């Protein structure tokens, strides 16, 4: 699989660098005074400075749970998801939307999931699968 690229708005590059590097463990790549690149589990995120960025307002429903729209994130192997979930739950500064949980339990596509917001209000979801071959299971 090749990495995806996502460019997204942030209100402050300093707080964004701290969150993505210190909280999520991303490597910092190239940057300028108006943007910074991160490696999120091997995928390229480009945070672009937009001081007027606000919280997204929409929501959808998945497996009976309201989820923010838009959101972005990464699908992980279960061991990597569990390590991330445990690391985040040990912190007291996470802006949780949905704490770690299992969705579609016992069904095709069973997955672990968690949602949080970055300091600019961007919603992120991290999913964990026991088998990546089940990501698109119907």
In this predicted structure, what is the pLDDT of residue 55?
A: 61
Q: Are residues 33 and 69 in the same domain?
A: no
Q: Are residues 34 and 95 in the same domain?
A: no
Of residues 109 and 64, more confidence is placed in 109
Q: Which of 98, 90, 91 is nearest to 117 (CA)?
A: 98
- pLDDT over threshold 90, residue 61: no
Against a cut of 0.85, is the pTM above it?
Answer: yes
Give the pLDDT confidence of 50-59 residue by residue, as tens digits: 988 766 667 7
pLDDT band at 1 (very low <50, low <70, confident <90, very high): confident
**Domain range enclosing 90:** 58-134
**What is the rounded distance in angstroms from the CA atom of residue 64 to the CA atom of residue 18?**
33
Q: Are residues 108 and 69 in the same domain?
A: yes
**What is the rounded distance in angstroms from the CA atom of residue 89 to the CA atom of residue 1?**
29
**What is the rounded distance in angstroms from the CA atom of residue 12 to the CA atom of residue 34?**
9
Q: Are residues 45 and 63 in the same domain?
A: no
Q: Output the six-digit token pair for 132.
A: 């990546």
First to last CA, the chain: 21
In this predicted structure, what is the pLDDT of residue 6?
A: 96
The phi, psi pair for 87, rounded to 5°, reads -65, -40
Q: Are residues 81 and 129 in the same domain?
A: yes
Q: Are residues 68 and 124 in the same domain?
A: yes
Specify the pairing of strand 43-49 against strand 5-10.
Answer: parallel
Q: Are residues 45 and 65 in the same domain?
A: no
**What is the rounded distance in angstroms from the CA atom of residue 26 to the CA atom of residue 117?**
16
């Amino acid at each position: 699989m090749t990495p995806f690229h996502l460019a997204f708005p942030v209100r402050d590059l300093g707080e964004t660098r701290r969150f993505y590097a210190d909280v999520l463990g991303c490597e910092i790549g190239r940057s300028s005074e108006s943007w910074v690149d991160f490696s999120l589990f091997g995928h390229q995120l480009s945070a672009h400075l937009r001081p007027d960025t606000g919280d997204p307002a929409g929501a959808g429903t998945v497996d009976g749970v309201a989820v923010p729209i838009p959101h972005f994130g990464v699908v992980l192997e279960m061991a990597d998801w569990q390590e991330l979930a445990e690391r985040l739950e040990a912190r007291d500064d996470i802006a949780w939307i949905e704490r770690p949980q299992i969705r579609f339990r016992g069904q095709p596509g069973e997955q672990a999931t968690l949602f949080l917001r970055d300091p600019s209000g961007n919603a992120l979801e991290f999913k964990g699968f026991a088998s990546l071959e089940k990501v698109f299971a119907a």
